[in-house]
Chains A and B, each alone.
Chain A
Amino acid sequence: MSARTHSLFRLAVCLMGLSVGCAAAPDPALLKLGAAVYRKDCVRCHGPKGEGVARKHDEPLTGDRSVESLATYIQRTMPEDDPGSCSAEDSAAVAAYIHGAFYSPEARAKLFPVRKELQRLTHRQFQESVADLLAGFGKVKQATPTGGLNAEYWQSKGMNKKERSALKRTDAFVDVDFGTNSPTADITADQFSVAWSGSLWAPESGTYEFRLRTPNGARLYLNSDLASGDANRRDDSDAKRQNATIDLWVSSGGQMREATAAVPLLGGRSYPLRVDFFKFKEAHASVRLEWRPPHGAWSVVPSQVLSTNASTSWVVVSTPFPADDSSHGYARGTAVSKAWLDAVSRAAVEVSGVIDGRLGSLTGSREGATNRVTALKTFAGTLAERTWRRPLSTKERATVVDGFFAKGVAPETALKRSVLRILTSPEFLYPGLDGRRDDASVAAQLALALWDSVPDEALRAAAQEGQLKTADQIRAQAARMLSDPRARAKLTGFFHHWLKLEEATDISKDPKAYPGFDEAVVSDLRWSLETFLEHVVWSERSDYRELLQADYLYLNPRLAAFYGAKVPVDAGFVPVKFDASQRAGVLTHPLLLAAFSYHRSSSPIHRGVFLTRNVLGRTLRPPPMAIEFMDDRFDPSLTMREKVTELTGKASCMGCHATINPLGFSLEHFDAVGRFRTVDNAKPVNATAEYTTAEGQVVRLSGARDVANHAAESPEARRAFVKQLFQHTWKQAPMAFAPDLLGRLDAQFLRDSHHIQRLWIEIAVAGVTEGMETKR
């Protein structure tokens, strides 16, 4: 862009112009006046470049107000000791001057240029990479949910010895009480066995708890490679060397028994699952498999995550890592610490142990065999190339592989050391460290951008064949990669950030005020929201605006009963249409409305802050002082709106609350659990409000639908969405790649009818192609 040759001010205006239409350049005389007024009246508190002055006003003078809005604000509130003393003309001049000099994000970007930083892998990237690296040595098989598991019912003879397969069918889940009866007419009630098998889909990454309950014999196998050719995991079968995730095989005491296991799983992957069950002469027979997913409640493992198809198992690193920096709204690896290095080292030891336990299948060699050393070296060499995402030089191979296979060192020990060396090396931990700009680096960048992982076979092949040179070639790869479950998992993570779902961990409400709003409902609401996001994003239209404007919610019977809608009793989650004036997309999804509420009442402030920052993409400074909302301090006859108005009435509050409150008030038709209401505290709800945009336009709102429509049309909201998705993808600001990149991506997004998938592809392509030109 030619802006580099222009004045700072012109650059700022032109960039702004991308979204609001290019405004005329301000009059130089006005700027001169503004600078003079600033020096005279403002600089003593705000400093020469708005950086602030200690003990006077130490907040930097930055924000997203337009020049006009800034002018109004200055005239009304400045200077602090004599508000209103600044004339309209002076205020406008100061506003124009500081906006271009240091106030606007664009001016700041120029003053403090954003640099593409060297970053280490995040925890997620480390885990995803390891899972794919090891799975890559076998055939990868993923199973999308089919709504149940294979079930085979057997007549037993003599304890758990299978005599005859009597029934094969698909069961939606494992939760069955046979009582004193037999499962089918063909089987006797005193002794029988059942095997359920298939796959389990993990919707998000985290620790999942599983619970098996039975008064009989049962075992759970999860995420382990099961021996083939075994009708049931009988004690005397060749499966005897397999460890069960939960083992309740021996019934003891005639009581219902239960056992739980915590299993770390990565989202967007399916895991082999098997439950074996047998009854032998106990009075009753029953078995239930339950889980508690991250953020969820205990429930029977639901059919919507089960599949009758087989999956490969994945190595999930269970070593805990310190949390990555997320202060910018996305996890990034900008800092190293002792705790992080310790975690990386431990994780590398963990992985080297896993490899050590699977040497046979990974290297195709046996201990003591003549080809052992060669096989282990070959394996280590391949692992190094895939881990470092590029071919190794002879010298590098000698250092990280061959050098460990010395005389007097057992080959297995040598391999362990080689694996540790490869996984703790900067080449793995800091992608792009070597500064190469070749096909392999393009493949590496794409895999990180869309999967947080290492390139798969297709990407490696494309790199090797020189098929990653042009933007079109890269675009084609990105489009292919989007159909991979790993891409869905990463995008799901983005929506969790965008909608602040990670913070929404405790949504419990006062059970007296909201009877029935229990853990199960909250868990269902999470599913409902995830289903909605999946549906919109991965539909053909993939329209960003539908996220904001949809007039339907996904409900199951339990949610339908709670939110006053009707769905068939045996339905899973189905879309239910609502009055469009009432419900509007994610803004009125009950999970978010409940998350941004107090224990007993709605919270217009929390809702307003969420809308301001996340949906409309505006910046808010932290409040000058923390004020706790104490419900009992108010006149008990007030509505929530009246209380918030009273609480935030001071001028020092209204700097931000003039923006926050109207947005929050527009959602006052929803109580603390997200049910529509017309009355609050015995008074009719007032959800009308006037919201002033960053450009100073006043938008009249009369409810959630108006906010949604405004957000869907708002260029600043759209740009914020593009920016956040870019940052989630690349873990750097778009400004670090090119000053005009965000504007270009936003313009393309607009041309593409707000198509989210296409936007993401363009983000991936732009990150790679810009990266080629921008040296760190």
Chain B
Amino acid sequence: MNVLKHQGLDRRGFVRQLGLTAAAVPFLAGLPSLNAARTKRPPQRIVFIFTPNGTVPPLFWPDAEGPHSTFKRILAPLTPFKDRVLTIQGLCNRVRGDGDGHMRGMSCLLTGIELFPGNIQGGSDTPAGWASGPSIDQELGRFLQTRAETRTRFATLDLGVAVPNRADPWTRWSYAGPNQPVAPVSDPYQVFERMFGQMKDQESLGSVLDGVRDDLKRAGKNLGKEDRALLEKHATFVREMERELKDVRRQKLARPAPALEPGVSTDNDDMPRSSVMQSDLLVNAFANDMTRVASLQYTNSVGQARMKWIGVDEGHHSLSHDPDLNEGSQEKLAKINVWFAEQIAALAKKLQDTPEPGGQGTLLDHTTLLWTNELGKGNSHTLENIPFVLVGGGLGFRSGRAVKFEMTPHNRLWMALAHAFGNEVKAFGNPKFCDKGALGLA
């Protein structure tokens, strides 16, 4: 049973938020891309996954470069995918300028470029505004849309889990361009509506037309010839519409719309449930080839998730400020990060369990999950040694190993991703961090 639910946001508001208007969406067109035979290369997909407030480095990073032996505690949930996990240590967000560490950590993470000066003030440093350039997810989405063989219904799918509904440099990491933050959608029902709403509306409409035709016929009986002709004409158009709707419905989705659990809110306590729903939707979007690029943002920079479901009552960000010697807090931070890793492992499993439609292998063979963070470590607010974990395949990177770089600008990883997708950028973000070229990961 599929239930739609909205959180104080009417449909028009929702449509507006997506930058669509009713007028722009033809009613009987624009259906989900139906995996029309795309013969050439197998698809490449990527999901950028954000979790906040830094990691616990000793419980996260592999000790040595090279093939993984046993994962440490935080990465342990990814053990089933060990051969497909690539950890990259030593990448730094070198962007400076306006904004505090969290703001730059967040808004310069996928963009690799400075923030504009503005009116948003953090705990320290100068007030800042939005990032001054696009983010790598949006750039990849834009690039894939320029080619017929990689074009999909959505350039990107921008999802969130419990992201607060406010727009500032702490809550936005995806940018369509300078000063163009992209709002992630945290409400799975809204995502569902975006992916399948039109189809459901058509289904609903199709279910009433029969009755309307009966009414027209009955009403016509009491009328004179001319007036009856008007209703008969109306009925003819209704019949035509019925036929068209039937034709549309005959085009089956590669995978049917997922069944969503009803009554799930976007609040803190529902995070475990909305996380599952968002990943179900994401897998479905890939299976139906609605998009190739997605982002999944858990809370926000400085996020205060209270993970009561794993016995952590304190806010995540507050805990992350506690010193390393505070063992209780370190333990809780470890639990929090393990939970995040479990979400990623669950998503990877679903992708692995889903065959690649019309192709070989599974979705995970052609999808890379990229898990990152706005900080290296919470209590130091460092932008060095930021976690970058890649799970899956399809980009031609050599996996199943740990690599280490020395103080390397993370811009170079974004260049490597762009190149892997066939987008031969000469730089990404601030060019001064790109002079050594794309990271070699093959």
Instruction: State in angstroms the CA–CA spacing of A160 and B166 once bound together.
Output: 13
A159 touches B204 (CB 8 A): no
Within 8 A of A (CB), among B238-267: 238, 240-241, 262-263
Within 8 A of B (CB), among A504-519: none
B179 touches A252 (CB 8 A): yes
Instruction: State in angstroms the CA–CA spacing of A281 and B98 once bound together.
Output: 13
B11 touches A354 (CB 8 A): yes
Given A251-B118, A357-B13, A776-B223, 15 further pairs, Cβ under 8 A: A115-B224, A159-B121, A160-B119, A217-B119, A224-B13, A252-B115, A252-B118, A253-B129, A318-B21, A346-B27, A350-B12, A357-B9, A357-B10, A357-B11, A426-B231
B8 touches A354 (CB 8 A): no
Instruction: State in angstroms the CA–CA spacing of A688 and B14 once bound together.
Output: 63
A776 touches B233 (CB 8 A): no
B22 partner, pick from A217, A235, A350, A776, beta carbons under 8 A:
A350
A241 partner, pick from B11, B165, B200, beta carbons under 8 A:
B165
Instruction: State in angstroms the CA–CA spacing of A345 and B204 once bound together.
Output: 11
Is B64 in the interface zone, CB < 8 Å from A? no
Is B306 in the interface zone, CB < 8 Å from A? no
Instruction: State in angstroms the CA–CA spacing of A236 and B165 once bound together.
Output: 9
Q: Can you identify 14 A-B contacts, CB atoms within 8 angstroms?
A: A115-B226, A158-B121, A250-B169, A282-B119, A345-B27, A350-B12, A357-B9, A357-B12, A412-B4, A413-B4, A413-B200, A421-B208, A426-B212, A426-B216
A417 partner, pick from B8, B115, B204, B234, beta carbons under 8 A:
B204
The 8 closest A-B pairs by CB, nearest first: A252-B129, A353-B11, A357-B10, A118-B227, A253-B116, A251-B119, A252-B116, A421-B208
**A 240-255 to B, binary, CB cutoff 8 A, 1 in contact else 0:** 1111000101111110
Instruction: State in angstroms the CA–CA spacing of A369 and B377 once bound together.
Output: 45
Instruction: With both chains docked as a complex, state the minimum distance between the C-beta of B154 and any C-beta of chain A, in angstroms.
Output: 20
Which residue of the partner chain A has the closest CB to B128? A252
Chain B residues with CB under 8 Å of A404's CB are 207
Instruction: With both chains docked as a complex, state the minimum distance between the C-beta of A248 and any C-beta of chain B, in angstroms.
Output: 10
**B 139-164 to A, binary, CB cutoff 8 A, 1 in contact else 0:** 00000000000000000000000001
Chain A residues with CB under 8 Å of B346's CB are none
Chain A residues with CB under 8 Å of B212's CB are 421, 424-426
Main SS at interface, chain B: mixed
Is A400 in the interface zone, CB < 8 Å from B? yes
Is A349 in the interface zone, CB < 8 Å from B? yes
Is A476 in the interface zone, CB < 8 Å from B? no
Chain A residues with CB under 8 Å of B22's CB are 318-319, 346, 350
Is B325 in the interface zone, CB < 8 Å from A? no
Instruction: State in angstroms the CA–CA spacing of A118 and B116 once bound together.
Output: 62
Is B5 in the interface zone, CB < 8 Å from A? yes
B227 partner, pick from A160, A348, A776, beta carbons under 8 A:
A776
B129 touches A251 (CB 8 A): yes
Instruction: State in angstroms the CA–CA spacing of A278 and B118 once bound together.
Output: 12
Instruction: State in angstroms the CA–CA spacing of A338 and B169 once bound together.
Output: 48
Which residue of the partner chain B has the closest CB to A252? B129
Instruction: State in angstroms the CA–CA spacing of A776 and B223 once bound together.
Output: 8
Instruction: State in angstroms the CA–CA spacing of A252 and B354 once bound together.
Output: 43
A118 touches B230 (CB 8 A): yes
B127 touches A281 (CB 8 A): yes
Instruction: State in angstroms the CA–CA spacing of A348 and B11 once bound together.
Output: 13
Is B270 in the interface zone, CB < 8 Å from A? no
Chain B residues with CB under 8 Å of A319's CB are 22-23
A434 touches B21 (CB 8 A): no
Instruction: State in angstroms the CA–CA spacing of A120 and B115 once bound together.
Output: 56
Chain A residues with CB under 8 Å of B11's CB are 350, 353-354, 356-357
Within 8 A of B (CB), among A250-271: 250-254, 257
Is A352 in the interface zone, CB < 8 Å from B? yes
For B12, B119, B238, B262, the residue with the greatest tally of chain A CB atoms inside 10 Å of its CB is B119
Is B380 in the interface zone, CB < 8 Å from A? no
A243 touches B16 (CB 8 A): yes
Instruction: With both chains docked as a complex, state the minimum distance between the C-beta of B29 and any C-beta of chain A, in angstroms.
Output: 12
A337 touches B204 (CB 8 A): no
B10 touches A358 (CB 8 A): yes
**B 187-215 to A, binary, CB cutoff 8 A, 1 in contact else 0:** 00000000000001100110111011001
Is B442 in the interface zone, CB < 8 Å from A? no
Is A279 in the interface zone, CB < 8 Å from B? yes
In the complex with contacts A224-B13, A367-B263, A399-B211, A356-B8 CB distance below 8 A: no
Q: Number of B residues contacting the other chain (C-beta, 8 Å)?
A: 67
Is A216 in the interface zone, CB < 8 Å from B? yes
For B1, B116, B237, the residue with the greatest tally of chain A CB atoms inside 10 Å of its CB is B237
B222 partner, pick from A217, A421, A435, beta carbons under 8 A:
A435
A250 partner, pick from B118, B224, B226, B230, beta carbons under 8 A:
B118
Chain B residues with CB under 8 Å of A367's CB are 3, 5, 262-263
Is A754 in the interface zone, CB < 8 Å from B? no
Is B17 in the interface zone, CB < 8 Å from A? yes
**A 374-410 to B, binary, CB cutoff 8 A, 1 in contact else 0:** 0000000000000000000000000110001000101
Instruction: State in angstroms the CA–CA spacing of A348 and B201 once bound together.
Output: 10
Within 8 A of B (CB), among A421-463: 421, 424-427, 430, 433-435
Is B6 in the interface zone, CB < 8 Å from A? yes
Is B130 in the interface zone, CB < 8 Å from A? yes
A426 touches B167 (CB 8 A): no
Chain B residues with CB under 8 Å of A368's CB are 262-263
Is A484 in the interface zone, CB < 8 Å from B? no
Is A280 in the interface zone, CB < 8 Å from B? yes
In the complex with contacts A250-B167, A400-B211, A435-B222, A241-B7 CB distance below 8 A: yes
Is A186 in the interface zone, CB < 8 Å from B? no
A417 touches B13 (CB 8 A): no
Is B117 in the interface zone, CB < 8 Å from A? yes
A216 touches B226 (CB 8 A): no
B215 partner, pick from A241, A412, A425, beta carbons under 8 A:
A425
Instruction: State in angstroms the CA–CA spacing of A424 and B241 once bound together.
Output: 13
A353 touches B10 (CB 8 A): yes
Which residue of the partner chain A has the closest CB to B164? A240
Is A711 in the interface zone, CB < 8 Å from B? no
Instruction: With both chains docked as a complex, state the minimum distance between the C-beta of B229 and any C-beta of chain A, in angstroms.
Output: 10
Which residue of the partner chain B has the closest CB to A320? B23
B234 touches A410 (CB 8 A): no
Instruction: With both chains docked as a complex, state the minimum distance between the C-beta of A745 and any C-beta of chain B, in angstroms.
Output: 26
**A 326-343 to B, binary, CB cutoff 8 A, 1 in contact else 0:** 000000001111100110
Instruction: State in angstroms the CA–CA spacing of A357 and B187 once bound together.
Output: 13
Instruction: State in angstroms the CA–CA spacing of A399 and B129 once bound together.
Output: 56
Instruction: With both chains docked as a complex, state the minimum distance between the C-beta of B6 and any C-beta of chain A, in angstroms.
Output: 5
Which residue of the partner chain B has the closest CB to A238? B8
Chain A residues with CB under 8 Å of B224's CB are 115, 776
A281 touches B119 (CB 8 A): yes
Chain B residues with CB under 8 Å of A235's CB are 166, 168
Chain A residues with CB under 8 Å of B222's CB are 434-435
Chain A residues with CB under 8 Å of B115's CB are 252
Is A416 in the interface zone, CB < 8 Å from B? yes
B1 touches A253 (CB 8 A): no
Instruction: State in angstroms the CA–CA spacing of A336 and B4 once bound together.
Output: 33
Chain A residues with CB under 8 Å of B17's CB are 243
Which residue of the partner chain A has the closest CB to B213? A426
Chain A residues with CB under 8 Å of B230's CB are 118, 120, 334-336
Instruction: State in angstroms the CA–CA spacing of A280 and B129 once bound together.
Output: 12
Instruction: With both chains docked as a complex, state the minimum distance between the C-beta of A741 and any C-beta of chain B, in angstroms.
Output: 21
A216 touches B119 (CB 8 A): yes
Is B425 in the interface zone, CB < 8 Å from A? no
Is A707 in the interface zone, CB < 8 Å from B? no
Is B2 in the interface zone, CB < 8 Å from A? yes
B119 touches A250 (CB 8 A): yes
Which residue of the partner chain A has the closest CB to B202? A349
Is B407 in the interface zone, CB < 8 Å from A? no
A336 touches B262 (CB 8 A): no
Instruction: State in angstroms the CA–CA spacing of A399 and B212 once bound together.
Output: 10
Which residue of the partner chain B has the closest CB to A241? B8
Instruction: State in angstroms the CA–CA spacing of A350 and B10 once bound together.
Output: 10
Which residue of the partner chain A has the closest CB to B11? A353
Instruction: With both chains docked as a complex, state the minimum distance between the C-beta of B348 and any C-beta of chain A, in angstroms.
Output: 31
In the complex with contacts A350-B11, A399-B211, A776-B227, A280-B119 CB distance below 8 A: yes
